[in-house]
A = this chain, B = another copy of it.
Amino acid sequence: MNEKVPDSHEAPRLHGVWADLQDAIARVDAEQLGREMMKLMARLFPICRSITGDGVRETLSILSGRIDLRVQEVPSGYQAFDWTVPREWNIRDAYIKNERGERVVDFRKSNLHVVNYSAPISGTMTLEELRPHLHTIPDLPGAIPYVISYYQERWGFCLSQNQLDPLPPGRYEVLIDSSLKDGHLTFADAVLPGTSPQEIMISTYVCHPSMANNELSGPVLTAFLCGLLSKVRHRYTYRFVFVPETIGSLVYLSKYGEHLRKNLHAGYVATCVGDAGPYTYKRSRRGDSAADKVAEHCLKHLGPGSTVKIVDFFPSGSDERQYCSPGFNLPVGSITRSMYGTFPEYHTSLDNLDFVSAEGMAGTLKQYLRVIQAHEINMKYLNLSPFGEPQLGKRGLYPTIGGKTSDTPTSVERLMYLLGYSDGTKDLVDIANLARKPAWEFAPEILALMDANLLGLAD
């Protein structure tokens, strides 16, 4: 009664995708990718990034060494919706010297010491005159704060409270050897075409100076994820986006927003992915998109003892603010460890390389792979023998002896769930949710049923 004829290429293709992604997940541990990610992060750490300038260029250039990046620039003055790309900022040196000529605040020791996008300044002044330009965190006296002023010209220094307190009154020599000139904003992406034009996007940002969890964990993980996926078969097209936060994602949307509106199946902003905190999923503004459904399912099945936080979309945060703005309303959530704003080290010099770890990075990389794997197999399947149960026994998929023998094998249970619910209205994650099992555990049974011509794809 059902005339659906399975495409003979479907099953072999899915076998390949599944096997490749299983391998990729296995490689994370086997090749110690966590340590390699830490090495790359250490190399990127000292660079003074901002939303424009050579710091971004150098960062993207280093990442280009690992993956095939397409780097692009737009000029100062470029209009992205309601925003204008500002002048390009670069900085060579900065300090506050005391009367003995000693650098009491020294850009060479930490690029956080300068308010990001500070206008150039050079001169001497009293501590009192200097004070309105100094930023500290009294509650974290050992930490240098990260302070920015992109769109209003000002200058300033950031230092720890412990540095500030002993400074005696007197005159100080102040230098910020920076420049604000017409130039460019730099960004990059990498696209891995799949068999489907539908896309999965991982977006991350490259505009913060020396901080590890927010932000370097993001671009490093994204680059490794891109590297792994470039070596496997996959159905979806994958897009990896590296932009300065806010203005960069707006520029990106000004160029690719319409394309994404048509093709984006799911997206995630990768940030704060390297610490030891619990996995957190921030939902897209839609709340019920494919991005949300698959990520929540995967995180909820992390395994016993794992805590997971699922938070509703809120309109502050990172670049999901732009992707999810009402005009675009893209299916973009964010998978993080300790989310921005929730840990005291956030936006300070304490968010350093010690705050992240190879284990933290590898763990999150595996989660991203798990989510991608779940997307790859999360289709609506169709029971091709839907009137009554098909007789699995004669196909070797069901025990030939029954009654009070032993418990139903869990594999049989999965077969029954797949056959019982694959009516073209439910996808694999729906069915896995009904069975209260992780979607990926169903892959062997999906492949077996497709091989037996009992399951096809619903279009």
Contact = CB atoms under 8 A, between A and B. Distances in A.
A135 to B, nearest CB: 7
A383 B154 contact: no
A401 B326 contact: no
B346 A404 contact: yes
Interface string A323-364: 011111100000000000000001110000000000000000
A83 B388 contact: yes
Contact of A387 (B81, B145, B321): B81
Interface in A1-47: 1-2
Contacts of A81: 385, 387-388, 390
Interface residues on A, range: 35 or more
Given A387-B328, A420-B325, A403 B152 contact: no
A327 B1 contact: yes
A316 B147 contact: no
- Specify the main secondary structure of chain A where it touches its partner: loop
A329 B416 contact: no
Given A137-B404, A403-B145, A393 B315 contact: no
Interface string A78-111: 0011110000000000000000000000000000
B423 A329 contact: yes
A146 B328 contact: no
Contacts of A145: 403-405
A152 B401 contact: yes
17 contacts: A81-B390, A83-B388, A145-B405, A146-B403, A151-B394, A312-B434, A315-B420, A321-B389, A324-B420, A325-B383, A325-B389, A325-B420, A326-B419, A326-B420, A326-B421, A327-B386, A328-B388
Interface of A: 1-2, 80-83, 115-116, 135, 137, 145-152, 154, 246, 249-250, 253, 257, 285, 312, 314-316, 321-322, 324-329, 346-348, 383, 385-391, 393-394, 400-405, 408, 412-413, 416-417, 419-423, 434
